[in-house]
Amino acid sequence: MRKYNLAVVGATGLVGREILKILVERDFPIKKIKVIASENSAGKKIEFKDQKLEVITATKGVFKEIDIALFSAGTEVAKKLAPQAKKEGAIVIDNSNAFRMDKKIPLVVPEVNAVDLKIHQKIIANPNCSTIQMVMLLKPLAQKYGLKRVVVNTYQAVSGAGKKAVDEMLEQTKAYLKEEKIENKHFKHQIAFNAIPQIDTFMDNDYTKEEMKMINETRKILAKPKLAITATCVRIPVIFGHGEVLNIELKSSYKIEALKSLIKKSPNIELIDDPLNYRYPLQTDTETNDNVLVGRVRRDNSLKNGINLWLTANNLRKGAALNAVQIAENLITNNLV
Amino acid sequence: MRKYNLAVVGATGLVGREILKILVERDFPIKKIKVIASENSAGKKIEFKDQKLEVITATKGVFKEIDIALFSAGTEVAKKLAPQAKKEGAIVIDNSNAFRMDKKIPLVVPEVNAVDLKIHQKIIANPNCSTIQMVMLLKPLAQKYGLKRVVVNTYQAVSGAGKKAVDEMLEQTKAYLKEEKIENKHFKHQIAFNAIPQIDTFMDNDYTKEEMKMINETRKILAKPKLAITATCVRIPVIFGHGEVLNIELKSSYKIEALKSLIKKSPNIELIDDPLNYRYPLQTDTETNDNVLVGRVRRDNSLKNGINLWLTANNLRKGAALNAVQIAENLITNNLV
């Protein structure tokens, strides 16, 4: 079996470290692996299987002989380094916002639109975390019933903002418990025991970038450029796992049991829906479960073909690192490397 | 000026204590006050202005000569004691779920439907906390534009479940930080650094009682028995202040600035909406602000006359104790005592 040369860019971040873990867990066919980060991290060692990999910076030629480069280093770094990597011969799978809405670049959740990978020109975009888990559910519903309109509200974990954000919440929490002063550096407001109705910066239409990502990326992934969808994104003091409440209006009528069966048999989705026994998905469940977890599925009687439901997934894994690795696996399986 | 004999039932709970604080803050015209609680608390002393009030139990005759009894002792106690209080001559303002949907009993938010107090027969119901803050906003919108449909998702504080729930979250938080085992007693699941998509118990239709309260109470308070409205209620690890995301479809078209002006001038509502300067309501703001705080107001382009917004209010004060005291004040002002 062929093995591949990989590079992980942004290897020391929360998502980068998760990518390395997942490559091991899934026994990815690796010949050689380079771990790349900023100068601050250069020279550090990262454990990987029985090796200690030295973190290097992205000098000229670093991507030569690399087959696949998994990027998770933010939009600015991606804009600078992805073209270099492509030129030096690597296929880039980028987790940032840099290329997602570029019409020539596939934006892929393998369970939903792996077919879009066929047209790749060496750069592939990994969608936003909160989008990935939502489209995993919307795709089967769209296929069977059609989507008339979607309203999504998020309950997003602090790890989505990186390690510094998690550290800040934990520091604030300790300060609160000791009745000491709470300091904000990463977040503009206290996040310990508080929610912040802003994720990413604001656009001219008073939506945040995160909200517009959910709207625009969903339309692109589902190939429904005019889908009626709106979003409100809120950060809550949870460490891992994004929660989402979806209110969906379907085009055709449905039976609730058939709809639940459809969810149950959809790939990498798990229905946890036994409310009388207090069984519904929790964000803490996603620490040890890579599926998109769906529950609280019930008819919305305020319109004709309405559904309410709650879903959650691990934002660092299915929402980022795992989806990227799945894309890489898919490229290999389909001879697209 | 006439002064009144009051009783506070459930005086040692979170809401009961808040009622006592608010009576002092608002200089309520009190002649005599009795503080009533269960046998467990009998004999305890509660500071009230320069007095130390002794907690008593609700023996026969305890409500004789009481003008107004403010109840915040749960549904079972209310069902038992409210009829007694009424019989003994008091007007009951009850914060539980016992009488809210009784057609003969007014369910009142003074800013919204004070007029309903006129028909009271000595028992008046205080609505659910998450309902109160929502109808404060829906009323002016309904009057000016008409409501076609409302979708609400909540981000509810742990204090809504009482003092034991808050203590449990804080204990769990400390345990998490020390990497010790997390124990659940009050909640069925971990609430520290987690969200729970269940508030109150489940009904046959797979909605929680909390969700159905928001639907049914809103219809009653706004006198719109067929209003299209749906709700999903989620508990998040915040101590004070319920957050809500509302997606509203209006009957008539609107201009965003006119709609914001309407919110701004509505009674006891404050518009905090300057996103570019990171200004929007936070649940922590409600610790020192009794208004319903509204922000993130923006057009929902997924339908014709849609709005998205975020609002928050103090669940123990405007959501419970303050609303009850306002009802009492309103009874006095309108000679209904």
Q: Does the distance separating the beta carbons of B198 and A275 come in below 8 Å?
A: yes
Helix (H/G/I), strand (E/B), else coil: B68: strand
Note the pLDDT of residue A1.
84
Phi-psi category of residue A89: left, alpha or beta, with phi > 0 → left and psi -120 to 50 → alpha: left
A38 is in an annotated binding site: no
> B242 pLDDT exceeds 90?
yes
Q: What residues of B act catalytically?
A: 129, 242
Note the pLDDT of residue B294.
98
- Looking at the complex, report in whole angstroms how far the Cα of residue A289 sits from the nearest Cα belonging to chain B: 15
Question: Region B289-316: what's the mean pLDDT?
Answer: 98
Note the pLDDT of residue B135.
98
Structure tokens that stand for A188 in this block: 């503009």
**pLDDT tier for residue B157 given thresholds of 50, 70 and 90:** very high
Interacting residues of B51 by C-beta distance below 8 A, sequence separation 6+: none
Question: Region B318-337: what's the mean pLDDT?
Answer: 97
Structure tokens that stand for B25 in this block: 């803050």
A266 to A107, A128, A140, A141: CA distances (angstroms): 20, 21, 7, 10
Give the ipTM.
0.96
Instruction: List the domains of chain B with CATH numbers.
Output: 4-127+320-333 (3.40.50.720), 131-314 (3.30.360.10)
Percent of chain A topping pLDDT 70: 100
- Looking at the complex, report in whole angstroms how far the Cα of residue A272 sits from the nearest Cα belonging to chain B: 12
Question: Region B84-100: what's the mean pLDDT?
Answer: 98
> A243 pLDDT exceeds 90?
yes
Tens digit of pLDDT for each residue in B34-44?
Answer: 999 999 999 99
Exposed, middle or buried, A106 (CB in 10 Å: 0-12/13-18/19+)? Answer: buried
State the sign of the Cα–Cα–Cα–Cα dihedral B177, B197, B221, B14: negative
Q: Does the distance separating the beta carbons of A238 and B193 come in below 8 Å?
A: yes
> B1 pLDDT exceeds 90?
no
- Looking at the complex, report in whole angstroms how far the Cα of residue B1 sits from the nearest Cα belonging to chain A: 43
Structure tokens that stand for B158 in this block: 């742990």
**pLDDT tier for residue B70 given thresholds of 50, 70 and 90:** very high
Tens digit of pLDDT for each residue in A42-99?
Answer: 999 999 999 999 999 999 999 999 999 999 999 999 999 999 999 999 999 999 999 9
B26 to A191, B5, B22, B287: CA distances (angstroms): 32, 16, 6, 17
Tens digit of pLDDT for each residue in A156-187?
Answer: 999 999 999 999 999 999 999 999 999 999 99
Q: Which of A205, A306, A310 sits opposite B197 (nearest CB)?
A: A310
Pick the closest to residue A161 from A319, A333, A336, A324 (CA basis).
Answer: A319
> B312 pLDDT exceeds 90?
yes
**Position of tokens 């109705």?**
A197
Find chain B residues with C-beta within 8 A of A232's C-beta: 245, 247, 296, 308, 310
**Position of tokens 């803490």?**
A284
Exposed, middle or buried, A192 (CB in 10 Å: 0-12/13-18/19+)? Answer: buried
Question: Region A125-147: what's the mean pLDDT?
Answer: 98
B262 to B41, B114, B259, B267, B285: CA distances (angstroms): 46, 20, 5, 10, 22
**pLDDT tier for residue B196 given thresholds of 50, 70 and 90:** very high
> A262 pLDDT exceeds 90?
yes
Note the pLDDT of residue B82.
98
Pick the closest to residue A74 from A104, A95, A99, A47 (CA basis).
Answer: A95
Question: Region B229-250: what's the mean pLDDT?
Answer: 98
Query: Across-strand partners of B274?
Result: B279
Q: Does the distance separating the beta carbons of A173 and B302 come in below 8 Å?
A: no
Pairing of strands B45-48, B4-9: unpaired
B14 is in an annotated binding site: yes
> B179 pLDDT exceeds 90?
yes
B41 is in an annotated binding site: yes
Q: Integer distance in angstroms from the first to the last C-alpha of chain A?
A: 14
Q: What is the residue-averaged pLDDT of chain A?
A: 97
Query: Across-strand partners of A208?
Result: A202
